[in-house]
Structure 1
Amino acid sequence: MSSRMLHDSTLTGLRTGFTGTLLTPGDPSYEETRAVFNAMIDRSPALIALPHNEAEVARAVAYGRAEGLPIAVRGGGHSVAGNSTCDGLVVDLREMNGVTVDPAARTVRVGGGATMRDLDTAVQPYGLATTGGRVSTTGVGGFVLGGGSGWLERAFGLACDNLLAAELVTADGSLVRATAHSDSELFWALHGGGGNFGVVTSMTLRLHPLPVLTAALLIWPEEATPQVVREYRDFMENAPDQVGGGLICLTAGQESFVPEDLAGRLACAVLITYTGPESQARDVMAPMLRLGHAGEMIAEMPYAELQSMLDDPPGYRNYWSAEHLDAFPDEAVDLFCARAHDMVVPSPSQHVLFPQGGAVARDAGLYPLPWRSAPWTVHPFGLWDDPADDARAKEWARGLRSDLQPWASGAVYLNFIGQEGQDRIVAGFGPENYERLAAVKAYFDPENVFRLNHNIQPAA
């Protein structure tokens, strides 16, 4: 639906008293505002509403429903599936991005449009942190509501484990506050169920002391990858919970610690994070330091700096997927390494292996996230700029998943994937959890107004 199909009288009514911004095609900032992170997603919303408060969110949702418009909710615009935009109404929360820290209580209240950069820089001065997305441009809301896997998860749990309260506008315009003691079933559903139940306008998160963080980025030439992956697997299976990070096959950049002969070539990198000082970190990571890496960067740094260190650049075409592994034997290692050659290189694409365990695996049945019990996650993370590479990039991601099926748990972290069908959505929660989520959906959104997401169908 285009803007010319909107009714002028009703749009005028919405504008009356609306202190936020309302954009239609042709408005000066419309093109810039409608763009999302994934360049493969090109939608032209009939209306983009940027509200300033919950009442304006409710008015925008009511308008969209009355006009029969599909409704998308945008936080950071980082959804690889394109769920943060549509050709109807986009409720864009980016102007509701306030962050309020309570250092005594070790909590933070975050607006629905805040990014990880907003959150991390606000809590950094207090020596506090919580598990965040691995890039600073990720929207906090969608990240937490989808479960929230990040560098600190083995020490501090998933992001949703640190969710203490959420305020949301439901499909009928009601403002609901969900906690462990109030609307507790909805609160449970928000731990992974995404934006299915309403527009989350703010959330309160638990913070953890993090006076010092050490990060080590080690890099090897491509031919060392099989040995490095095996050593990293064995290292992480015995690592303390304070250790996080991942192994990444990628195109080496021009950074000062990268040898000149590796720049622009496929290489193997290991990022190790440690929630403590460098002296302790070096002792813990000694097995990896003995492997004869070609380049290194090891330093204590602010968490906010780590969060932006590997920011993936905007403007690229994106296709991601994931598979969670119950085991990672040598045969699986060989298949993982072989698939690295199918990436679009050179490009910002990454062929990633994430360790889980630690706090991720504790209380694995508490929330509807069955993937958290798997010790390993493989994450083909494709970014490229030439549409001619679309088929190749997708086949690389799908091929890796296919190769590793013998060890796959069958569950999936939905924030890591695009549109892969309803079966994969159910796999993100597990069949029993999905039925329970569908009942919550039926109560708060029986008409499936909020369906532009990894959608949970309302129970009959």
Structure 2
Amino acid sequence: MIVNSSNIRQLGDRLQGQLFQPEAEGYDDARKVFNAMIDRRPALIVRCADVTDVIAAVHFARETELPIAVRGGGHSVVGSAVCDEGLVIDLSGMKDVSVDPDKRTARAEGGTTWGDFDRATQRYGLATTGGIVPSTGIGGLTLGGGIGRLNRKYGLACDNLLSADVVTADGTLVTASADENEDLFWGLRGGGGNFGIVTSFEYQLHPVGPVLGGEIIFPLDQARTALRFYRDWSTDAPDELRADATLASTPDGPGLAIEVCYCGAIDAGEKVLLPLRKLGSPMLDTIDCVPYETVQNLLTDIFPPGMHHYWKSSFVREFSDDAIDTIVDFFTAAVPPPLAVITFEHLGGVIGRIGEQDTAFSHRQAQHSLLVLRTWQDPEKSEANIAWGRQCYGIAEPFLESGVYVNYLGDEGEARVRAAYGANYERLVALKNKYDPANVFRFHQNIKPA
């Protein structure tokens, strides 16, 4: 079927939400995503108001043979939320969050961000593991596994998923849970957006009141000592603690920041954090008893919209003295301009007590993940920034696993996609064959049907 003005008009008449075409007012804003390096021009953008809009958009795309991209928060660094010459199904208008404080559950629509979600659940002193940048969408993060500040105590975001409403490739609305379409429910928890469009997520919530949160920043000449301490201290830490260590070049200068969130009893947390707070001669210590939302907003100013991003990541295999020295030597030899980041993210705890085949997310035994991140504003500096990121990752690579957190994966080839899905890849292919044999949903880190 040829896409013409008549059938586009018919689609518009069926929608409760908005339809954007090229050159129309609002189109350029609607196609922007988190990573300013992504500059794609879809044929149409449907900003859905409800699930019936999602279903109508899927049917239209199938009838007209338009490729489909799905946008939740638009935070995927590879830009999977938007495509050239296709149809973007934009869920950003669907943000309703309903909380049941008695059952400690919440249901949120597919366009909800973690900032939206935390505001709704924290009214009741509840939360679940979610993204550490509030503008991140709940959808992409959960479907890829879902690392967050509560992950050691309460598991990944996908571990807290109770059910999901999904529009499949043929435009059918189904529910996936432990009791219904169990195979699909398994695949949604770590298999990315390969199996359908999730229009609502139901999560298990947990009591999360004030936390001990903030950061300690050490001068660069103390980075080796601080990282050695961090490695041992974080590996032996109680589940209530998540602590990330970051070598960073910022407008205020370079240093090593250790960012913490302790979600247990405050007096117990103070004892856990005391050795860190007595370490070395930090330039800054902001750790305090604060609302959970305050910790969730620590990175808001660091990651504003409209910046260019390059990320490369893997799970840490060998967190040795040699690894620390190699990475610190590279960073300090020629400190790059802001913003350059090498982050060790804190995993383990409850994550590792769930079987690698219990959900599609299989990287359960990793204690840390390493993320190399470059952010810049001037597009003419893209080549130099990307080159630094690749060189930095190459220096660290001998100490890393082949596996990678799928939500951090860039455009890195099929072998890396397979490594991202790990031991469960073949089972995910079988699921793709069942739910999307024509590969309609292919702009995420794609699991190709057989």
CA contact (8 A) 1:339 1:396 kept: no
- Identity, in percent, stands at 41
* TM-score (normalised: structure 1): 0.93
Aligned pairs for 1:64-103 (under 5 A) are 64-87=61-84, 88-103=86-101
TM superposition shift of 1:351: 1.4
Give 2:204's aligned residue.
Answer: 206
CA contact (8 A) 1:106 1:207 kept: yes
CA contact (8 A) 1:342 1:396 kept: no
Give 1:305's aligned residue.
Answer: 294
Secondary structure at 2:343 match in 1? strand
- Structure 2 CA distance, aligned partners of 1:84 and 1:44? 12
TM superposition shift of 1:223: 1.4
Out of 352, 359, 369, the position equivalent to 1:361 is: 352
TM superposition shift of 1:368: 2.6
**1:124 lines up with 2:116 in the alignment:** no
- Structure 2 CA distance, aligned partners of 1:124 and 1:357? 25
Out of 315, 318, 333, the position equivalent to 1:327 is: 318
Secondary structure at 1:367 match in 2? coil
Give 2:439's aligned residue.
Answer: 448
CA contact (8 A) 1:160 1:191 kept: yes
Give 1:383's aligned residue.
Answer: 375
| Backbone CA RMSD of aligned residues | 1.6
- Structure 2 CA distance, aligned partners of 1:379 and 1:286? 27
- Structure 2 CA distance for partners of 1:404 and 1:372, relative to 1, 3 Å: farther
Count of matched residue positions in the alignment of Structure 1 and Structure 2: 444
Give the gaps of 5 or more residues in structure 2.
none
- Structure 2 CA distance for partners of 1:344 and 1:192, relative to 1, 3 Å: farther
User: Which string of whole-angstrom CA distances, capped at 9 and with x for unpartnered residues, describes residues 184-203 of structure 1?
Assistant: 11111011111100111001
Secondary structure at 2:403 match in 1? coil
TM superposition shift of 1:395: 2.9
TM superposition shift of 1:377: 1.1
- Structure 2 CA distance for partners of 1:205 and 1:342, relative to 1, 3 Å: farther
Aligned pairs for 1:257-296 (under 5 A) are 263=252, 265-291=253-279, 292-296=281-285
TM superposition shift of 1:367: 1.9
Secondary structure at 2:393 match in 1? helix
CA contact (8 A) 2:355 2:364 kept: yes
- Structure 2 CA distance, aligned partners of 1:369 and 1:404? 24
- Structure 1 CA distance, aligned partners of 2:312 and 2:383? 14
Give 1:422's aligned residue.
Answer: 414
Give the gaps of 5 or more residues in structure 1.
254-262
Aligned pairs for 1:343-358 (under 5 A) are 345-358=336-349
User: Which string of whole-angstrom CA distances, capped at 9 and with x for unpartnered residues, describes residues 129-175 of structure 1?
Assistant: 10011100000001000000011111110110001101110110100
- Structure 2 CA distance, aligned partners of 1:389 and 1:19? 42
TM superposition shift of 1:344: 7.7
Secondary structure at 2:189 match in 1? coil
Q: Give 2:11's aligned amino acid.
A: L
User: Which string of whole-angstrom CA distances, capped at 9 and with x for unpartnered residues, describes residues 263-285 of structure 1?
Assistant: 2x111111111013543322111
- Structure 1 CA distance, aligned partners of 2:245 and 2:408? 16
CA contact (8 A) 1:343 1:396 kept: no
Question: 380-389 or 111-120, which moves further after superposition?
Answer: 380-389
Question: 169-178 or 340-349, which moves further after superposition?
Answer: 340-349
Out of 13, 17, 25, the position equivalent to 1:28 is: 25
Give 1:19's aligned residue.
Answer: 16
* TM-score (normalised: structure 2): 0.95
CA contact (8 A) 2:145 2:190 kept: yes
- Structure 1 CA distance, aligned partners of 2:314 and 2:389? 10
CA contact (8 A) 1:214 1:301 kept: yes
TM superposition shift of 1:65: 1.8
Give 1:184's aligned residue.
Answer: 182
Out of 363, 386, 400, the position equivalent to 1:371 is: 363
Aligned pairs for 1:235-250 (under 5 A) are 235-250=233-248
Q: Give 2:270's aligned amino acid.
A: R
CA contact (8 A) 1:212 1:277 kept: no
User: Which string of whole-angstrom CA distances, capped at 9 and with x for unpartnered residues, describes residues 388-417 of structure 1?
Assistant: 432333233333333333332221101012
TM superposition shift of 1:15: 1.4
Q: Give 2:258's aligned amino acid.
A: V
CA contact (8 A) 2:191 2:361 kept: no
Q: Give 1:318's aligned amino acid.
A: H
Q: Give 1:369's aligned amino acid.
A: F
**1:54 lines up with 2:51 in the alignment:** yes
Give 1:399's aligned residue.
Answer: 391
Secondary structure at 1:404 match in 2? helix
User: Which string of whole-angstrom CA distances, capped at 9 and with x for unpartnered residues, describes residues 407-434 of structure 1?
Assistant: 322211010121111111110122x511
Give 1:437's aligned residue.
Answer: 428
**1:104 lines up with 2:102 in the alignment:** yes
- Structure 1 CA distance, aligned partners of 2:198 and 2:255? 40
- Structure 2 CA distance for partners of 1:79 and 1:204, relative to 1, 3 Å: same
User: Which string of whole-angstrom CA distances, capped at 9 and with x for unpartnered residues, describes residues 9-68 of structure 1?
Assistant: 111111123111001112211111111110000011111101112121111111112222
- Structure 2 CA distance, aligned partners of 1:251 and 1:324? 22
